[in-house]
Amino acid sequence: MLPDLRGIEFDWFASDSEGNLALFATAGEGFYPESVAKHHVQHTSISEAIPTPHLGTPTIWEDYAALGLFVFDWALPGGPYKKVASPKRTANQGFVASVGAISDLPQFAASFHNTRTVESWP
């Protein structure tokens, strides 16, 4: 049985058709692929290890972009995920490897570069 993560703010990761990585912030309401529910501990442990000096401020997303991530935040209420930041540099290979090691990492069929919102996941 999969854990019920509704109402819990957590972040999850995905890669796109070009190998880019993104962080999706659920705001306690956003959807997530079934594979994320199965492996949410892996997603959470990586997310919580990311330095976030701007936690609690509107510039938090820049902390993630500085690591080389696209960032999609769930728009309350009702969504969708909206792109709120783009990478400031190429992601560190060690970080890429740690995210890539997440079991069943979700794969987005398009490019995060060209995506402004994510309204569903295949």
pLDDT in tens, 98-116: 999 999 999 999 999 999 9
Q: Which domain holds residue 106?
A: 24-118
* Nearest to 122, CA basis, from 18, 37, 110, 11: 110
The mean per-residue pLDDT over the stretch 85-95 comes to 92
What total number of domains does the chain contain? Answer: 1
53 part of a folded domain: yes
- Residue 4 covered by a domain: no
For residue 40, is it within any domain? yes
* Residue 54: band (very low, low, confident or very high) from pLDDT cuts 50, 70, 90: very high
Give the mean model confidence (pLDDT) for residues 5-24: 93
User: Which long-range contacts (C-beta less than 8 Å, at least 24 apart) are formed by 87-93?
Assistant: 87/20, 88/62, 91/21, 91/67, 92/67, 92/68
Is the residue at 81 inside a domain?
Answer: yes
85 part of a folded domain: yes
- Of 51, 87, 81, the C-alpha closest to 69 is 87
Q: For residues 58 and 64, which has the higher predicted lDDT (pLDDT)?
A: 64
Does residue 86 sit within a domain? Answer: yes
**pLDDT tens digits, residue range 32-48?**
999 999 999 999 999 99
